[in-house]
């Protein structure tokens, strides 16, 4: 099936079906899309994949703090010989990056301005209403993609200057299967659904396609090419797109490679605290109601993250079929985790809003969570961008990182602690940007280093500019950004080694 035709056929996804009259707009979009495709020169394109880390999980397992920082029992990347959290870096990165093929193309912007509220999740991706959201930038570089962004998991405003919309599919399908989500994307254009909208649809289709032929003639477009495109469009309209999934394997062929890789990442343990001895219960607890027994050990050997798997498979489907060059998806949560005692397994859930997750549980489970994400992204890069012919930007963001309690009993919402992890073939090396420091003094609840900004936080405008620069769309970004932070530069940021002390967070 012709990809250009399919893409233009999907042009109306975010508006189609609102009213009967939308079919007229829909058909116009087919015509305009075909004309753009036949007249326009090939444009370069950079693909954007945003992953939203819901709930504000701790991120010190993913983004580096400084060597020589003020230690805290609540902050760790591995475990000491005594089974308590220990923070260490390997080649300036947390241990989860050691085996990742992405480690030489990553930048971390830390200590980014953020309020300690969950609604900041939207602000982190759309900093200001008068500018396009970060997830809206990719489509500005290349106008051939009629859908500016596919979103699932976070409804952040696109603010597209050309008034294009996102296809927001998360609202009705948070609990749907992966195949449900894909069908939601294409079902409005299924032949049976389309036919129900207007009994005169057939004649409208023919009129629209005949107009396309006439327009093509007036622009001296090759007649045989025009005929081929018109016939392809007619067949798609009459047959629908459900055949994209009605294959022998359905959507499973997209899902299985990512499922295997993500699960491998989650289930391969980096470091463990050993077994619970009956002491320091608050550091071991997985949630508020979790009652531990002596001999309990954490378990991720059956761990999954089905939402992340679905997000990567959907993005693969979207990019491969030229539906859009931008996706903002959910990074999901750990599933099917728990504890084992004498071979007996007990399932538990771990909350990303980890107020009551002790330091041992947080260090272990969130390390495995991020390992799954890196494994999935590595597979995505290998599948979609195996060489240098296509540029990509992977962007991980959340409302905030967490303020760790110094006694290891849990964590709270962190102020000015948001982290943006950006992976791209346009980034050389692995550098961390933004001043972060220690908070409070010995004895304070949040004493230690966990990622809060030292001094002034990094402006969201600076994050926006840097990603816009990677996507080649700086004319749409803010003017008053911090020019000293440039993640495309191969020079290590001068702020990287700065440590300051800051007061106790509110």
Distances (CA, A) of 217 to 152, 223, 250: 41, 7, 40
Q: Say if residues 381 and 102 touch (Cβ distance below 8 Å).
A: yes
Q: In what order do the strands lie in the sheet with 105-112?
A: 166-168, 149-152, 326-330, 46-52, 391-397, 418-424, 105-112, 429-433
What DSSP string runs through 247-303? SSSTTHHHHHHHHHHHHHHHHS-S-------SS-HHHH-SSTTPPP-TT-EEE-TT-
Report the relative pairing of strands 391-397 and 418-424 from DSSP bridges: antiparallel
Neighbours of 440 (CB within 10 A): 18
The confidence score (pLDDT) of residue 441 equals 87
Which residue is associated with the tokens 């949630």? 287
Tokens 């409208």 map to which residue?
204
Please measure the distance between the N-terminal and C-terminal CA atoms of the chain and give it in whole angstroms: 57
Distance CA 64, CA 59 (A): 9
Residue 445 per-residue DSSP state: T
Q: How many Å separate Cα 224 from the centre of its chain?
A: 42
- For residues 462-482, one letter each, b for 16 or more C-beta atoms within 10 angstroms of the residue's C-beta and e for the rest, the string is bbbbbbbbbbbbeebbbeebb
Which residues have CB under 8 Å from 146's CB, separation 6+? Answer: 7, 8, 10, 11, 29, 33, 164
The candidate with the shortest Cα–Cα distance to 12, out of 173, 207, 208, 179, is 208
Q: Are 200 and 24 in contact (CB under 8 A)?
A: no
The residue whose two tokens read 């990287």 is: 496
Any alpha helices (H) in 148-273, and if so which ranges?
A: 170-173, 178-186, 191-197, 201-218, 223-239, 252-267
Residue 209 pLDDT: 57
pLDDT in tens, 168-212: 664 444 555 656 655 555 554 444 444 444 444 455 556 655 655
pLDDT at 494: 38
- How far apart CA 167 and CA 321 sit, in angstroms, is 15
Side-chain half-sphere exposure of 423, counting CA atoms within 13 A: 22
Residues in the chain with pLDDT values less than 70: 1-44, 67, 143, 146, 167-250, 490-506
* Environment class of 110 (CB within 10 Å of its CB; exposed 0-12, middle 13-18, buried 19+): buried
Comparing CA positions, the residue from 56, 76, 62, 61 lying closest to residue 360 is: 76
pLDDT at site 10: 39
Residues in contact with 142: Cβ distance below 8 Å, sequence separation at least 6, in sequence order: 43, 44, 45, 325
What integer pLDDT is reported at residue 225 of this predicted model?
61
- pLDDT for residue 310: 86
pLDDT recorded at residue 166 = 72
Range list of β-strands (E), 102-213: 105-112, 149-152, 166-168
Q: Give the start-to-end residue ranges of the domains of the chain.
A: 1-42+191-240, 47-188+252-501
Structure tokens at 138: 């990719």
Is the pTM here over 0.85, yes or no?
Answer: no
pLDDT of residue 492: 46
Closest-CA residue to 48 (of 397, 393, 381): 393
**Residue 272 backbone class (left: φ over 0; alpha: ψ -120 to 50; beta: rest):** beta
Neighbour-count burial of 272, counting CB atoms closer than 10 A to its CB (0-12 exposed, 13-18 middle, 19+ buried): middle
Paired sense of beta strands 402-404 and 105-112, if any: unpaired
**CA 424 distance to own-chain centroid:** 13
């Amino acid at each position: 099936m012709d990809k250009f035709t399919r893409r233009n056929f999907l042009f109306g996804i975010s508006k189609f079906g609102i009213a009967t009259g939308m079919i007229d707009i829909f058909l116009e979009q087919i015509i305009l899309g075909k004309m753009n495709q036949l007249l326009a020169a090939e444009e370069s394109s950079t693909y954007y994949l945003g992953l939203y880390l819901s709930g504000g999980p701790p991120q010190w397992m993913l983004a580096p703090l400084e060597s020589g920082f003020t230690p805290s029992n609540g902050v760790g990347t591995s475990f000491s010989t005594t089974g308590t959290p220990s923070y260490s870096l390997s080649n300036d990165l947390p241990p989860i990056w050691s085996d990742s093929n992405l480690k030489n193309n990553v930048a971390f912007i830390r200590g980014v301005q953020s309020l300690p509220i969950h609604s900041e999740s939207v602000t982190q991706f759309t900093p200001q209403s008068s500018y396009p959201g970060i997830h809206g930038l990719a489509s500005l570089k290349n106008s051939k993609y009629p859908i500016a962004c596919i979103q699932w998991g976070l409804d952040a405003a696109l603010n597209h200057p050309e008034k294009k919309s996102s296809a927001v599919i998360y609202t009705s399908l948070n609990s749907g299967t992966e195949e449900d989500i894909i069908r939601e994307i294409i079902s409005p254009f299924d032949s049976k659904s389309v036919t129900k909208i207007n009994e005169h649809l057939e004649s409208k289709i023919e009129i629209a396609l005949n107009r396309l032929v006439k327009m093509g003639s007036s622009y001296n477009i090759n007649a045989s090419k025009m005929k081929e495109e018109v016939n392809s469009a007619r067949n798609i309209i009459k047959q629908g797109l459900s055949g994209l999934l009605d294959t022998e394997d359905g959507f499973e062929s997209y899902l299985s490679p990512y499922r295997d890789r993500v699960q491998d990442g989650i289930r391969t343990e980096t470091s463990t605290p050993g077994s619970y001895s009956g002491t320091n219960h608050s550091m071991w607890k997985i949630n508020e109601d979790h009652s531990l027994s002596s001999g309990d050990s954490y378990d991720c050997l059956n761990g999954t993250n089905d939402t992340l798997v679905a997000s990567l498979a959907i993005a693969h489907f979207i990019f491969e079929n030229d539906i859009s060059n931008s996706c903002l998806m959910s990074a999901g949560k750990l599933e099917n985790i728990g504890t084992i005692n004498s071979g007996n397994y007990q399932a538990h859930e771990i909350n990303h809003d980890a107020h009551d997750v002790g330091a041992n549980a947080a260090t272990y489970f969130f390390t495995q969570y991020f390992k799954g994400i890196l494994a999935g992204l590595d597979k995505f890069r290998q599948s979609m961008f195996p060489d240098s012919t296509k540029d990509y930007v992977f962007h991980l963001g959340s409302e905030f990182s967490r303020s760790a309690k110094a006694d290891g009993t849990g964590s709270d919402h962190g102020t000015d602690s948001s982290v943006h992890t950006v992976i791209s073939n346009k980034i050389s090396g692995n550098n961390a940007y933004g001043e972060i420091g220690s908070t409070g003094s010995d004895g304070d609840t949040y004493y230690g280093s966990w990622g809060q900004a030292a001094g002034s936080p990094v402006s969201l405008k600076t994050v926006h500019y840097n990603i816009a620069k990677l996507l080649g769309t700086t004319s749409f970004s803010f003017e008053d950004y911090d020019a000293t932070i440039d993640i495309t530069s191969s020079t290590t940021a001068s702020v990287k080694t700065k440590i300051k002390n800051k007061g106790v967070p509110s």
